[in-house]
Structure 1
């Protein structure tokens, strides 16, 4: 989608084998080595004391008092002298203490800065929400008047007004795609925004719309409140839909690389063509059979219906309230359906599983990796998904997250992804987004993420190379082993 002169490039890599957290652990390892060196030097100093008290050495004092004195002085100098083993051990211990203090200071400073930004975001969100809440009646009246005025215009005037509105929408989207951090700060203050809207509209300053005491300080708390406005999630219903196999056969190839993996995820996502598509809720389970037994890749597309209202919720499990519930940390029908579909596809506990998801699908992949213990999820790949608050994850699991720098969706959790050895976040720049008629929508398109995956595959960054190597060694990429696919459809009963 990008021209030859608009190459997609990697702009930032966070976490993984060469991330900041690993460097901190390496620094702590260096401090431990210094401690060990100090311990050895102190042991040598004690050895010197035993040498001084050696019976043979003491007996030689009678025969060679000068040599005895020189030997005693040399041992004392080597063990307890200004440059002796004991003094040097204290220097090594001091260096170890200094290294640990510096690492701790860096970490505490980062935490303090993040907390300060979050508190500012929360207060700004509360002020903004309060203003919107207080002005809601006036805004609704003005909107009704504007609509009534619109109906009195001629068709040509209405078309001109719609064109102007479309131009304004495009300009706003372009601005957001160039300043996505604004959305991250708004999402970070989401708890304050919800509190402010409620307080401004109702005057209630003690209890929130969920009946819980104010304030709701976190984005997940705000998402949980919003999810509460929708009817109950219901139970999952799973049916086999192999008639919708993306490859048209039951024997698709194992993805050769990360771009091929996301290309196949896009093929699965295209089984759903809109909010009323009969293919909504479809996922694919690819089973790869090797000499060590089967392994599985589960492809999870994103949201099918972003315009779900509390009075229009239907059987679609990939809807807007599912996003709210998942970010709020709650179980969802989509997550339950994925687990049921994995069982129906024949995945057994203990068999290696990779979960690959776009947008809401990535949220579900991360949520399942962190919260279920039935299946051995060893790898997660997400594209354009807000997953910062989904952990912690089991030991041994590896996550690779792709994020477009122009995509606001990965920022909707209000926090950056954590810098940990098991989670690599790859941010890429896609200049082609600027030329789009709908930059915000286009930046989130899975086709853009296929290009980002290709750029990641060409990168020399060690954290990216290690993450891709682990996916290949686990047999999820580049394997010649035979594979078969099953499509299953999840709906809300």
Structure 2
């Protein structure tokens, strides 16, 4: 296990550009005050040397040297301010380019407005465009780190794992764009409850949430119905990943659904999730938060982007796709750089997605070579729970902010939990 956890907003963006720009402005203010200080020291030096007998009582050489040091510090602050503001522009340019690319599919007018700002940034300094290009290039180089270190069977495993990342990045299927909903009709399914309980509390941490996946035999979905103090209800869905390596049999969470979802088609597993939420009492407009592993990450992405539910929080582990969420939706992604499944996302978006508090937590799940790589041990839930525990211990402000979310859930007065098992009953016509 590797303890080197990297938490960013996603893609090439690792900082809040507005915060970075504010830092640059503050450094500029410090530089101005240092310039004033340097001027005051020089004037004091002049007064001292001009006053008869005063210069002999004070170390004017040291005073002049202190002005030199302040002058050097002021120069460095000016350089730091210019560099910080330039980097903020480069980060903003990366974000705007990614946003414009997505909007071009659904809102040409909004995309054109962004292109105007892009042109303004590029024209503001000849270096900005090049710096943005370098950020993207660096992100592209880093996004598949760890895949080629997998257990090597005469090179076959390395090619397989890196190939997974190239599929996502080359075909562009790893990023779910707004305005491109699922197409087609799902295979028919039946959904039935197989277990019910009344938990004593809601999740208190990210790891706690990922431990709450269904446990009843054959169950793929758990839905918790929360009744809050004001009588309102909201829901949390915990959705398992792939349950069968076969194609098109009774288990909806199989390779057929994997391929369909990745290709943008409606799967039996997606339909089963909708049916389970409806069976739990969720209605259009109700709040539904989502915790999902593997294939379920694709289901959660689509629920957040195109369902009639009000999805505010999406947390995925080892998802093969990344959604394009609104700025009022929180996205938490757990990714192992040596997980072939999450590599199918192709690195996601260089500009990140979701609210400013959204983040992607990435690490190499297992830095050692071994036969465990053959069965993709770093993709399984136990490995991602370890990563969730690391996030819970992190001092990153975005990880710490999750504490407020757990507190809001803790206000629930009644919790009703139901686990559902879905079965595919045929093929769509």
Deviation at 1:333, TM superposition (A): 2.4
Unpaired runs of at least 5, structure 2 = 27-81, 94-121, 123-127, 141-149, 176-183
Contact 2:318/2:336, CA 8 A, preserved across alignment: yes
Structure having the higher helix fraction is 1
Contact 2:261/2:267, CA 8 A, preserved across alignment: yes
Q: Which structure 1 residue ranges, 4+ long, deviate > 6 Å from structure 2? A: 28-33, 94-100, 115-118
Q: 1:183 to 1:440 in 2, by over 3 A?
A: farther
Contact 2:245/2:254, CA 8 A, preserved across alignment: yes
Residue 406 of structure 2: aligned partner = 472
Asked whether 1:341 is paired with 2:322, we answer no
1:188 to 169, 179, 188: 169
Residue 6 of structure 2: aligned partner = 12
Look up the SS of the partner of 1:321 in the other structure: helix
Residue 328 of structure 1: aligned partner = 263
RMSD: 4.0
**Distance in 1 between residues matched to 2:317 and 2:154, nearest whole Å:** 20
Deviation at 1:250, TM superposition (A): 3.5
Asked whether 1:376 is paired with 2:310, we answer yes
**Distance in 1 between residues matched to 2:414 and 2:259, nearest whole Å:** 38
Deviation at 1:487, TM superposition (A): 1.4
Asked whether 1:289 is paired with 2:244, we answer no
Contact 1:177/1:440, CA 8 A, preserved across alignment: no
Contact 1:335/1:364, CA 8 A, preserved across alignment: yes
Deviation at 1:318, TM superposition (A): 1.1
Look up the SS of the partner of 1:380 in the other structure: strand
Note the 1:89-238 alignment, pairs <5 A.
Answer: 102=90, 103-104=92-93, 106=128, 110=132, 171-172=152-153, 183-189=164-170, 191=171, 218-219=172-173, 233-238=186-191
Contact 2:337/2:363, CA 8 A, preserved across alignment: yes
Q: Deviations over 1:135-194 (max 9, x none)?
A: xxxxxxxxxxxxxxxxxxxxxxxxxxxxxxxxxx964399958995554135423x4xxx
**Distance in 1 between residues matched to 2:221 and 2:154, nearest whole Å:** 30
TM-score for both structures, normalised by structure 2: 0.62
Residue 24 of structure 1: aligned partner = 17
Look up the SS of the partner of 1:401 in the other structure: strand
**Distance in 2 between residues matched to 1:98 and 1:117, nearest whole Å:** 19
Asked whether 1:394 is paired with 2:394, we answer no
2:204 to 237, 256, 259: 256
1:419 to 352, 355, 367: 352
Deviation at 1:108, TM superposition (A): 7.1
Look up the SS of the partner of 1:234 in the other structure: coil
Asked whether 1:240 is paired with 2:193, we answer yes
Q: Deviations over 1:363-410 (max 9, x none)?
A: 1111210111x211110110111223x31x234110101112321210
Deviation at 1:491, TM superposition (A): 2.5
**Distance in 2 between residues matched to 1:428 and 1:456, nearest whole Å:** 11
**Distance in 2 between residues matched to 1:27 and 1:407, nearest whole Å:** 32
Q: 1:99 to 1:485 in 2, by over 3 A?
A: closer
Contact 1:234/1:492, CA 8 A, preserved across alignment: yes
